[in-house]
Amino acid sequence: MVSQKALQHAEKCRFCWMCRHLCPVQHQTGKELNTPRAKGLLLSMLSKGTAEFDKDMAKAMYECMLCDACVNDCCTGYQPPLFIREARTEAVVNDLAPAAVMQCIENIENSGNIYGAEKPSFGQDGTDVLVYIGEVAACKVPEMAKAYLRLLKKAGVSAKVLDCEPASGMMLADLMGYVQEVTDQAKSCADAINATGLPTVVVLDSYDAEIMKQHYAEWGCEIKAEVVTATAYVAKLLEDGKLTPKAEAKGAGACHDDDRLARSFHEFAPVRDIAKAAGYTLTEMFNKERLAKSCGTAVALSYMPGITTKVASGRWADLCRTEAKAMLTANPQAYLCLSQCVPEGMTLVDLYTALNEVV
């Protein structure tokens, strides 16, 4: 069963309601079962032998975006995603995970990504930096990846993209916890990146950047290059005058802080710098920066599209309460989720494409 550490967190959360108002899944489903507290209670009951780990309990553990909004708000330092991930490991090991989850895992085993698709080649063999595209941008939002590479070219940066880019391990970790298969993927990925010998790896998807920067070292597979988020890298190119935008007024927009930039990196300024350079006048949604509400993840969209689309619609509702008509994002997973339910009269903007229009 789950570790003592995870159980300790579950035991504390089961009595507590303090972060329930921040859970985007609870908001959109209205289910008590989807509060962090309820998931802690389920595991507590399991450890006391008063409940069985069955398919319903497993399903509840997957109705979570692992967005860390609860963790960020917890003044006592407890972490629901810690026990939720471990419960997912149990679900997979005991063949209780939802069929759609198992399909994603099978796709990873067969193709290296949750889509079971072949990643396209970006035909880039430059010598300054390696750009890690990630499976979501490669398979589902390739225009964002191409726009990013065009920006680097305009800035005079010679970029390389691995032809057979290995998975970072991020998707598998969300599906079945931090198991050996995830560290195996991480090692292969780090080896491929290190083999390029390039000094910098720019990571397009902040979810990939998070696992690389915050977990690889503890697994003994540190990336030798400096790992930089794509947003921070382009913001620096703007600051250094390598990209010089023409003045163009595009109206009011609000930046969506994705889960990892918001809560793992606390990186807020670069995406706003890019948005301003692209011509937007910025306003803010109520839940912003560290408190930003999740709009869903690509993996959750794959195994539970209905709930994830509702979560994305919750983020659109936040935008609708501002004067802005444009949701601005530089994250492929956020773009993919938000694109499922764009309200009439609103626009979803990929900031790399928008910046390309003015530089």
Amino acid at 195: A
Segment lying near ligand SF4 (by CB under 6 A), choices 76-84, 96-104, 132-140, 220-228: 76-84
| Sites for ligand SF4 among residues 107-146 (CB under 6 A) | none
Structure tokens, 64: 């979570």
Question: Which position has the token pair 């303090």?
Answer: 18
Among residues 2, 12, 85, 145, which is the contact residue for ligand SF4, using CB under 6 A?
Answer: 12
Taking the least distance from each CB to ligand SF4, the nearer of 83 and 280 is 83
Would the CA dihedral through 62, 66, 72, 78 be positive or negative? positive
What's phi and psi for 321, nearest 5 deg? -85, 0
What's phi and psi for 99, nearest 5 deg? -60, -35
DSSP per-residue codes, 56-76: HHHHHHHS-----HHHHH-TT
Cα 331 from Cα 144, distance rounded (Å): 9
DSSP per-residue codes, 191-217: HHHHHH--SEEEESSHHHHHHHHHTTG
CB 338 within 8 A of CB 295: yes
Among residues 46, 61, 67, 96, which is the contact residue for ligand SF4, using CB under 6 A?
Answer: 67
Among residues 13, 255, 298, 348, which is the contact residue for ligand SF4, using CB under 6 A?
Answer: 13
Looking at the DSSP assignment, which residues form a beta bridge with residue 327?
A: 254, 348
Per-residue interface string for the shown chain with ligand SF4, residues 210-239, x marking contact by CB under 6 A: ------------------------------
| Sites for ligand SF4 among residues 16-45 (CB under 6 A) | 16, 18-19, 22-25, 36-37
CA 346 from chain center: how many Å? 23
Torsion of CA 154, 157, 163, 168, to 10 degrees: -110
Q: Does 175 bind ligand SF4 (CB under 6 A)?
A: no
Count the residues of the shown chain that bind ligand SF4, applying the rule CB under 6 A.
24
Taking the least distance from each CB to ligand SF4, the nearer of 74 and 275 is 74
Taking the least distance from each CB to ligand SF4, the nearer of 28 and 185 is 28
Q: Does 298 bind ligand SF4 (CB under 6 A)?
A: no
CB of 352 to ligand SF4, least distance (A): 27
Cα 178 from Cα 191, distance rounded (Å): 19
What is the number of other CB atoms lying within 10 angstroms of the CB of residue 210?
23
Taking the least distance from each CB to ligand SF4, the nearer of 113 and 308 is 308
Segment lying near ligand SF4 (by CB under 6 A), choices 75-83, 111-119, 155-163, 342-350: 75-83
Taking the least distance from each CB to ligand SF4, the nearer of 70 and 221 is 70
CB of 228 to ligand SF4, least distance (A): 26
CB of 180 to ligand SF4, least distance (A): 24
Amino acid at 311: V
Among residues 2, 69, 147, 307, which is the contact residue for ligand SF4, using CB under 6 A?
Answer: 69
Cα 180 from Cα 172, distance rounded (Å): 10
Taking the least distance from each CB to ligand SF4, the nearer of 172 and 202 is 172
Taking the least distance from each CB to ligand SF4, the nearer of 33 and 102 is 33
Residues in contact with ligand SF4 by the rule CB under 6 A: 12-13, 16, 18-19, 22-25, 36-37, 64-70, 73-74, 76, 78, 80-81
